[in-house]
Structure 1
Amino acid sequence: MSHIDDEKAMYGAKGSQVPQGEDASVAVLPAEGIDDTAVDVHTHLYDGVQRRMEQRHMQMIALAGTLGTGLFLGSGKAIVHGGPAGALLAYIHVGTIAYAMLVSLGEMAVYAPISGGYIHFAERWLNPAAGFALGYQVVFSGIISLPTEIISASILISFWDPAFPISHQAAYITALMIVCALVNYLGVRWFGESEFIFAMIKITLIVGLIIAGLVVDLGGGPNGDRIGFRYWKHPGAFAEYHTTGSTGKFLGWFTDLLQAAYSYLGMEQIAVAAAEVKNPRIAVAKACRRIFYRIALFYIIGILIIGMLVPSDSQDLLQSTGTTAASSPFVLAFNLAGIKVLPSIINAGVLTSAFSAANSGLYGSSRMLYGLALRGQAPRIFARTTSKGLPIFSLMLVTVFMALSYMALGSGAQTALNWLSNLTSLGGFITWCTICVTYLRFRAGIKAQGIDSSKFHYRGPFQPYAAYWCIFWCCIVIVFNGWEVFTHGGWNSSDFVVAYINLPLFFLLIGGFLIIKKPTHLKPIEMDFYSNIPTDEEVSYEEPPPKTIFHKIANYIFT
């Protein structure tokens, strides 16, 4: 293909038409001069989703998917395993890995803001088998994780209902499922608005906790005790895990590395929403440039404050169940300082986080299934949308799996559900690794076809080294995720399966697709960078200026 000089041609002069009207439908047609059968891009149906999401919604989806129970409740375990310094270094290190993934994904998503997100990128620029395997892994992970978030939210409600009989839990689960489904069935605009509100609540909560924690650390609590870095000196900056000496400190840090990584998972959701946001090239580019710094700021400063307030050998942290606000290291810290009014406030904020995770899971899984169906890799009925762009049948199927939440009402079934949820634990790392491998292929194709990347709306910094950094560390996490199975406590077959089953399943899906479909693996010069990709004119949108003080502040902060 020839060198492309103007942006319109660069982004696909005959790509999908993306009108902005309320009842607009979107036709996806191959570009003129390109043999659609030669590139194995299965876009046989109409892409019916519509761009109804605002820029602020896009950025909040990325933020709301990551800032949650991992920080509010689970961060205490990071302090126990690695000590305050080990936990802090782990969160900083994983932050660099997440950033490397985000800039790789962002460049592709800004170039091609289309349905399917990174599974479509993997199919188009890596190999159709990779896109197929990645898509079904993400959908499977989503539908299994969805009921666990509903269950977590119901348990958080039990903080105010100490008796918590089964009948009450069943009622809470039912109510949560109805509200979660209702938000999604009302359409992407309602989903975006709800996630924006949830994220504002979580941001307010974490900022308030950081400020309150700093005040307490400096001696502003009721007991007037100035803590400073006392707990970095005793019991120490690094905790020893499983063994003593430098080896124990390293194992504590590495264990925190895995836990911190789970806290960052979810940032990739911005590529899923790119097909439904107004002015996606501007919105996604801004999200990539700004969202990570906000998340890193909250997590890194949050974990620093926690490490200053609570000793790593605290029995309350060691005995923490991680299910309600009583388990939060912030609550433990404020109780030590003599402040007793915060648990209910924190529990309410964490409840919002859990519900937001379920809300986002329902949205993301349904859109991934829709993206698979759009390219012929799932039954065509799941590619149908309503007149307002809602992928109704994909959403209905994913909604059915919320009923697995009722498994929490039986102890044996609850164990089975937790086991299934753990089976998907490596899915995020496999996704990140695949995204960066896809980016390297994307970059090779751009270079081979003489496309001028200097004209892109967003170019990821530190490339291709950022992609290599992410791939390397994702492989480390994937390989050593189950290290405790081999070194401590004796062999446990079920723990081994939970730690590693995702990997052979992923390659089984790839192998099965290669054997059955026999797709052509394209050389970089043969890759498709044009068909079905909208031009700037087709997706441009001028947002109306803010009118109220609140909207002006929100516009300044989030756009």
Structure 2
Amino acid sequence: MEAEKNLRPDENDSLEKGVRAEKDNVGSDHIVQSNPEYHFDVHDLDRVQRRLKQRHVQMIAIAGTIGTGLFLGSGGALASAGPLGALLAYALVGTVAYASLCAVGEMSTWAPISGTFPHFAARWVDPALGFATGWNYFYTNAISTPSEITAAVILLTFWDTKASEAHIAGYTLLLCVFVSLINIFGVRYFGESEFIFAIIKLTLIIGLLIVGLVIDLGGGPEGDRIGFRFWKNPGAIARSGLEPNHIGWDRFLAILSVLVQAAFSYQGMELVVIAASETESPRRNIAKAVSRVFWRILVFYILGILMIGMLVAYNDADLLSLQSNNTAAASPFVIAITRSGIKVLPHIVNACIFTSAFSASNSFLFCSSRVLYGLALRGQAPKFLTYCTKKGLPLYSVLVSSAFSLLAFLSVSSGSNQVFNWFVRLSTTGGFTSWCVMNVSYLYFRRGMIAQGFDLTKNSYHNRFQPYVAYWGAGWTLFFILINGFEVFWNFNATGFLTAYINIPIFFVLYFGFKWVKKTSFWKPHEMDFVTGIPTPEETEEPEVPPANIWEKIGNVVF
């Protein structure tokens, strides 16, 4: 603990910030923040219960990396950047998403408590950053819920091709009700529903990869072997059209445009750590989930993008004409399958993608309600939102978050689409901001842990490539924030610029507003509190039962 002793705050600082050193049960010193305004110890208020089992957490971790962005958005990525351009973009963003998950995963296994990474930012960086991040993440997810409900409604029009406004309004109402009810019933029902949705998504993507490989190798009815034909003609990388006189620069801009699109697809991976305070044996289960996410990104996303680049040309007439469709017909997989002569499969694919969109709206509502609950626990949101039922459901936080799902009705009338799309674009930059804060918070967390003599390798999850992984994640997410909507600088319009960048001033208003009112400052390494209100492993971890037979061993590997 020599490093900590050398960094002790002076007496005046200690009195001002409420810093004191205490000894734990093995005689080592640790820092405690006794100032009640920080709300670090919320045991008396935090009433959520650990009802998510290991299989729920592991399948949620898988489901967080598969969604409509892969099944439908990949077609737009292919059309914009070509097969190699899309592959490079998705691979790069995959590393950034994984870096962000590693950062927040390490902090969450140290402190599996309500409030998650917004609280980590407040606890180890600056209370003002935690406030801004929490509200930013809340409205990002709250607005994303109706956007996914709208996507699910559009998928229903694959069968109801002449849907009237009344039909669309009815579909929207039903989905809003179902999504809200799943969350109101409690975290156990949420976990079971996400477990089922994850199995459907896994079955779909594995099936599509197998069918796609068979078609590519000439196993379709026509026996046409495609191979890498489309990588040669029309080519591996498309052009953006922004710089027609500079081919290399134009292709680079095409890849840039897909970077942002790919980042949209990966958002939501952090769901598994948002649920840390409601997970059985959170340290063991979250560590296991985070460790496996890299391979899931590699297998599902990277192989998926590689496969569609082999099956469909980026200038394919059907691919370009269907990009505004947003049903399964626009999926490159379905385009290839339809041409192979398989008739019923597109309907199955559309049904599975529908469950994916519904699952996403379900997850976004869960995330927004739990972050709102965490803000309330720390005194940064109205206190009534801390109310929990006897089964550990933060009911009022769920109801407030559910109310945002009604924004989906903005898409019923064609005249309201522009307003609704504005909300969607607002949420995207907010997601990038959250990733950036996760990595920055980890860097401060790491600095404080080392200064106070904690051994990072003793944590349940530790990435041996830190802090370089966090630097990588923070740098690229900042880059994504800055280039979001870069196309407006070639053909400027005020609406496009505003929707792409308005989240940046909103975040700074939240940050500097709270900082000015509360007079907060950045935590110094010797002032950070790593113990108050954080349950010990003995309090959270249950004994791991070894598998008794071959089926349990297989289940242990999968889950």
Q: Distance in 2 between matches of 1:462 and 1:555?
A: 26
Q: Distance in 2 between matches of 1:444 and 1:142?
A: 30
Output the TM-score relative to the length of structure 1.
0.91
Asked whether the 8 Å contact 2:41–2:532 carries over to 1, the reply is no
User: Structure 1 residues 97 and 493, CA, compared in 2 at 3 Å: closer, same or farther?
Assistant: same
**Residue 522 of structure 1, CA deviation:** 2.1
1:34 maps to which residue? 32
1:21 maps to which residue? none
Secondary structure at the residue paired with 2:230?
Answer: helix
**Residue 402 of structure 1, CA deviation:** 1.5
Q: Distance in 2 between matches of 1:522 and 1:205?
A: 47
**Residue 57 of structure 1, CA deviation:** 1.1
Q: Distance in 1 between matches of 2:558 and 2:207?
A: 18
**Deviations 1:410-436 (Å, cap 9, x if unpaired)?**
122232111112112111111111111
User: Structure 1 residues 545 and 446, CA, compared in 2 at 3 Å: closer, same or farther?
Assistant: closer
Output the TM-score relative to the length of structure 2.
0.91
**Residue 346 of structure 1, CA deviation:** 0.6
Q: Which amino acid aligns with 2:479?
A: I
Q: CA RMSD in A?
A: 2.2
Q: Distance in 2 between matches of 1:228 and 1:372?
A: 52
Q: Distance in 1 between matches of 2:546 and 2:504?
A: 48
**Deviations 1:391-420 (Å, cap 9, x if unpaired)?**
001011111122222222212223211111
1:527 maps to which residue? 528
1:433 maps to which residue? 436
2:92 maps to which residue? 93
**Residue 128 of structure 1, CA deviation:** 0.4
1:502 maps to which residue? 503
Asked whether the 8 Å contact 2:124–2:444 carries over to 1, the reply is yes
2:129 maps to which residue? 130
Q: Which amino acid aligns with 1:301?
A: L
Q: Which amino acid aligns with 1:378?
A: A
1:484 maps to which residue? 487
Q: Distance in 2 between matches of 1:403 and 1:355?
A: 15
Which shows bigger deviation, 184-193 or 547-556?
A: 547-556
Which shows bigger deviation, 514-523 or 79-88?
A: 514-523
**Deviations 1:82-138 (Å, cap 9, x if unpaired)?**
111111111111111112112111111111110011011001001100000000011
**Residue 151 of structure 1, CA deviation:** 1.4
1:279 maps to which residue? 281
Q: Distance in 2 between matches of 1:334 and 1:101?
A: 35
2:388 to 375, 385, 388: 385
Q: Distance in 2 between matches of 1:218 and 1:83?
A: 20
Asked whether the 8 Å contact 1:159–1:325 carries over to 2, the reply is yes
Secondary structure at the residue paired with 2:32?
Answer: coil
Q: Distance in 1 between matches of 2:297 and 2:31?
A: 43
Asked whether the 8 Å contact 1:222–1:337 carries over to 2, the reply is yes
2:18 maps to which residue? none
Q: Return 5+ residue gaps in structure 1 as ranges.
A: 5-11, 15-30
2:11 maps to which residue? none
**Residue 551 of structure 1, CA deviation:** 6.5
Alignment of 1:253-268 (within 5 A): 253-268=255-270
1:105 maps to which residue? 104
Q: Distance in 1 between matches of 2:550 and 2:345?
A: 30
Q: Which amino acid aligns with 2:178?
A: V
1:297 to 296, 299, 323: 299
2:12 maps to which residue? none
Alignment of 1:241-260 (within 5 A): 241-242=240-241, 243-244=243-244, 245-260=247-262
Q: Distance in 2 between matches of 1:234 and 1:54?
A: 49
**Deviations 1:531-556 (Å, cap 9, x if unpaired)?**
01111110012366779987764433
Indicate yes or no: 2:445 matched with 1:446: no
Q: Which amino acid aligns with 2:300?
A: F
Asked whether the 8 Å contact 2:274–2:370 carries over to 1, the reply is yes
Asked whether the 8 Å contact 2:31–2:530 carries over to 1, the reply is no
User: Structure 1 residues 552 and 186, CA, compared in 2 at 3 Å: closer, same or farther?
Assistant: farther
Asked whether the 8 Å contact 1:13–1:535 carries over to 2, the reply is no
Q: Distance in 1 between matches of 2:354 and 2:72?
A: 11
Which shows bigger deviation, 541-550 or 340-349?
A: 541-550
Q: Distance in 1 between matches of 2:520 and 2:504?
A: 22
Q: Distance in 1 between matches of 2:518 and 2:41?
A: 16
Secondary structure at the residue paired with 2:213?
Answer: helix
Q: Distance in 1 between matches of 2:107 and 2:90?
A: 26
**Deviations 1:168-209 (Å, cap 9, x if unpaired)?**
222211221222122111111111111011011001000000
Asked whether the 8 Å contact 2:122–2:129 carries over to 1, the reply is yes
Q: Distance in 1 between matches of 2:159 and 2:219?
A: 29
Secondary structure at the residue paired with 1:159?
Answer: coil
Q: For this pair of structures, how many residues does the alignment match?
A: 534
2:333 maps to which residue? 330
Q: Distance in 1 between matches of 2:468 and 2:549?
A: 44
Which shows bigger deviation, 34-43 or 534-543?
A: 34-43
**Residue 477 of structure 1, CA deviation:** 1.2
Identical-residue share of aligned pairs (%): 51
User: Structure 1 residues 549 and 152, CA, compared in 2 at 3 Å: closer, same or farther?
Assistant: farther
Q: Which amino acid aligns with 2:411?
A: A
Q: Which amino acid aligns with 1:349?
A: C
Asked whether the 8 Å contact 1:137–1:506 carries over to 2, the reply is yes
Secondary structure at the residue paired with 1:34?
Answer: strand
Indicate yes or no: 2:440 matched with 1:417: no
Q: Return 5+ residue gaps in structure 2 as ranges.
A: 5-22
Alignment of 1:57-68 (within 5 A): 57-68=56-67
